């Protein structure tokens, strides 16, 4: 891939129907990069968790969108899942507060298995909450170089 950073950006309606499109794009990019089948399956689960968090959170908000950006070079794939939802207190009251929105990272770790799952499957996971600007989840998977090819 010549070492230069490539970028693919998807802007999708925040509904569960579109998570498959994200997974298909991830598969295409990750397989072109040379990730193994197992690594790609792990990344698909992690990106689905991140997307579902945005979809669950934005659910019921008319016209909500999720932006998914894939940035990659010869060494790593970074996936950014960003929504622009406002604070959604009602979900906490309804007992479905297992999203990463408006939580400190320590709270998010306690808040649901999705975060643990993303951490287990990816090399780096970062959650950024900006008041009034939504939530961004950044997932990074680095290429592992086989020791046999030295």
Rg (CA), the chain: 16
Q: Which residues of 38-72 are buried (b: 16+ CB within 10 A; e: fewer)?
A: ebbebbbbbbbbbbbbbbbbbeeeeebbbbbbbbb
> What is the pLDDT tens value at each position of the chain, 150 positions in all?
567 999 999 999 888 889 999 999 999 999 999 999 999 999 999 999 999 888 776 555 566 889 999 999 999 999 999 988 754 433 333 344 445 555 554 444 434 678 889 999 999 999 888 777 788 999 999 998 655 443
Fold of 9-149: Heat Shock Protein 90 (3.30.565)
């Amino acid at each position: 891939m010549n070492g230069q950073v490539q970028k693919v950006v998807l802007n999708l309606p925040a509904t569960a129907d579109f998570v498959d499109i994200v997974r298909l794009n991830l598969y295409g990019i990750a397989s072109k990069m040379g990730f193994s089948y197992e690594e790609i399956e792990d990344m698909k689960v992690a990106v689905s968790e991140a997307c579902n968090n945005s979809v669950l959170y934005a659910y019921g908000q008319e016209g909500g969108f999720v932006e998914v950006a894939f940035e990659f070079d010869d060494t790593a794939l970074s996936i950014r899942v960003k929504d622009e939802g406002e604070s959604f207190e009602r979900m906490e009251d309804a007992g479905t507060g297992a999203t990463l929105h408006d939580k400190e990272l320590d709270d998010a770790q306690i808040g649901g298995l999705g975060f643990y799952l993303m951490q287990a499957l990816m090399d780096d996971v970062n959650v950024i909450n900006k008041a009034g600007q939504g939530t961004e989840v950044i997932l990074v998977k680095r290429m592992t170089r086989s020791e046999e090819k030295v």
